[in-house]
Amino acid sequence: MAKRILVVEDNDLNRKLFCDVLKSQGFAVEPVADGRDALDRARDFVPNLIIMDIQLPNGSGLDLIEAAKADPVLRTIPVLAVTAYAGKGDEDRIRDAGADSYLAKPVSIGPFMAAVRALL
């Protein structure tokens, strides 16, 4: 059975790119554009990995990661944070929120897939 990946990304182009690349590698993908829907979709879809943008409408990715790690159903699912914010201290804040790995945008396909495979 294909591994399931929830992609939480508000930018249409990035979300489509991530989903297309993951589908081409045989993963089952569930896209989410709005932070407000992310945790409910995660509970319904029960992914093997969550890819989380940090800046989202209707909720911070950091808050969503913290909420997922506090949720008994979602806490064991690894989270790959993907963000345009790659300043000093950002990676520490993202990891402190509970992200298992971190990539700065713009994301290249090779490192992206390496990070996905490392978490699965």
Q: What's the CATH code of the domain at 51?
A: 3.40.50.2300
Give me the pLDDT at residue 67, please.
96
Kindly state the tokens that stand for 111: 């490192």
Contacts of 76 (CB under 8 A, 6+ apart): none
Q: Print the SS3 string covering 28-56.
A: EEEEECCHHHHHHHHHHHCCCEEEEECEE
Tell me the pLDDT of the chain averaged across its residues. Answer: 94
How many domains does the structure of the chain reveal?
1
Q: What is the pLDDT of residues 34-90, one digit of tens each?
A: 999 999 999 999 999 999 999 998 889 999 999 999 999 999 999 999 988 767 788
Question: What is the domain extent for residue 104?
Answer: 4-119
**Are the C-beta atoms of 118 and 1 separated by less than 8 Å?**
no
Helix and strand totals (H; E) in the chain: 5, 7
Q: Distance between CA atoms of 6 and 52, rounded to whole angstroms?
A: 8
> What number is the average pLDDT over the span 99-106?
93
Cβ count near 102 (within 10 Å): 20
